[in-house]
Amino acid sequence: MHTKTISELAAALRAGEFSSEELTRAYLERIQLLDPKINSYITVAEEQALAMARAADARFATGEVMPLTGIPIAQKDIFCTEGVKTTCGSRMLDNFVAPYNATTVERFNADGAVLLGKTNMDEFAMGSSNETSFYGPVHNPWNTDTVPGGSSGGAAACIAARLAPAATGTDTGGSIRQPAALCGITGLKPTYGRVSRYGMIAFASSLDQAGPMTRTAEDAAIMLNTMAGFDTRDSTSVERDVPDYSASLNDSIEGLKIGLPKEYFGEGLDAEVGRQVEAAIKEFEGLGATVQAISLPNTHLAVPTYYVVAPAECSSNLSRFDGARFGYRCDKPVDLEDMYKRSRGEGFGAEVKRRIMIGTYALSAGYYDAYYLKAQRIRQLISDDFRQAFDKVDVIMGPTSPDVAFGIGEKADDPITMYLSDIYTIACNLAGLPGMSIPAGFARDLPVGLQMIGNYFDEARLLNVAHRFQQATDWHSRAPEAFK
């Protein structure tokens, strides 16, 4: 059962080949047996999962089913989940049990999906390797000495290891797409505002976006059909009709215009990764697409811009974690100031503290204009680059990550090098565009991801293009030997 995709599992459930409870038990057994090797889950919700599976089976008996009814999924541990510990990978929230559901969780529950558990992540979604989690690093199933990417590394690893058929992720600067690339799965970051952020614990409010992580584009379309849509409780949610993302998956891509930014294929890109990406683009040409060179001239400013904007917003968002209302509180504080200082000092990890300090500095009197305001102006230039590019092409393609998965601990003491892992993904968030990573080959026996960036609210096209590629290739169907 664990080898099937969502669409295959849904068909089998409808045909009565097995029940949702049997399917859920099979996944729970695999998690118990195999997850200690990769540490992809923080919480496994066994009792709740089995109860939800029985409820799904009851729905099958009445015929009131949706495409995800009875399908086990995992939620990134950044989504508030009623009655289940929600930690954001941090000691600060190690004792926090959410009293309500995030909109994303609500929508999956309404469709009858089964919650297997909450996946490991970089602390407060800050990281590119899933090494900053209070619960320990996640290991890449393709080589457990390497990282799975971050911050949604637990979600990517559990799908690659066949410990869930799908999971939710969040993407602030590449945190769905980069781990998807490093673990050989499919990951989609929708347009900013397409999926509700209500109940998703905030890192950088103008950048964070939830999206699906799956094995195939077809499954991602099924997930996005549930996730997407306007939410009155989220002030950043866009009131816009949601198409059926599955309806156009098989459309022809004859005549598709693909843009290749010269900035994505220069210095810093591993040669083997570059060759695999170029081979993948040749596949699209064989499917009738045309390719042309384009330029995104402000790409080199994306990383420094991001690392002013994101820390500034995180320093504001994380000020609520003070030991007073919920979450971690230090032992025996002598006064209020001591409680604040020690609770935050003990509750946050090193990377979170680093970003809070950078952000506080950038927003401080005398530096706001020099840093934050200037970064926002450059952000507009980056958005303008994409707008001009989409006047000429339909989809932009390139590598998702400059290299394959690196060793655990290899970049832990070098934050600048770590930040450059997201060099190709960050601009997409700054502009608010949809982006996707799909498996496109292997280099040194580790997965390579192809990134596709679409115009605003053009997720259906991205999913169609990815699906047609996956019909012509088998990279997405390969599994790590130890987890088959």
332 in active site: no
Catalytic: which of 7, 151, 401, 421? Answer: 151
Q: What would the two tokens of residue 256 be?
A: 């598709």
CB-CB contact of 68 with 60 (8 Å): no
- Who's near 115: CB < 8 A, 6+ residues apart? 45, 48, 49, 52, 72, 73, 74, 75, 81, 84, 105, 108, 109
Size (the chain), residues: 484
Marked catalytic residue, from 76, 118, 189, 411: 76
**Residue 248 buriedness (CB in 10 A; 0-12 / 13-18 / 19+):** middle
Q: What is the pLDDT of residue 385?
A: 98
| Helices and strands per DSSP (H, E), number in the chain | 15, 11
Give the pLDDT confidence score for residue 367 in this predicted structure. 87
CA–CA separation, 439 and 433 (whole Å):
20
Reduce the DSSP state of residue 214 to 3 states and report it.
strand
Please report the pLDDT score of residue 164 as a whole number.
98
Q: What pLDDT, on a 0 to 100 scale, did the predictor assign at position 418?
A: 87
What does DSSP assign to residue 372? I
175 included as an active-site residue: yes
What are the residue ranges in the chain where pLDDT is below 50? Answer: none
Q: What is the CA radius of gyration of the chain?
A: 21
Closest of 295, 284, 276 to residue 257, by C-alpha:
284
Domains with residue ranges and CATH for the chain: 6-256+392-483 (3.90.1300.10)
Would you say the pTM of this structure is higher than 0.75? yes
Predicted confidence at residue 211, as pLDDT, reads 98
Q: What is the pLDDT of residues 87-117, one digit of tens each?
A: 999 999 999 999 999 999 999 999 999 999 9
Task: Tell me how far apart the alpha carbons of residues 141 and 447 are, in angstroms, rounded to a whole number.
Answer: 11
Q: What is the pLDDT of residue 258?
A: 98
Pair of tokens at residue 278: 């170029």
Residue with tokens 């905030």: 202
Strand partners, 454: 395
Q: Where are the beta strands (DSSP E) in 316-410?
A: 395-399
- Of the listed 20, 128, 133, 175, which one is catalytic? 175
How many of the other CB atoms lie within 10 Å of CB of 484?
A: 10
Instruction: Return the pLDDT at 444.
Output: 97
Q: What residues contact 377, with CB distance under 8 A and at least 6 apart? A: none
Residue whose entry in the numeric block shows the structure tokens 């994380």:
318
State yes or no: is 151 an active-site residue: yes
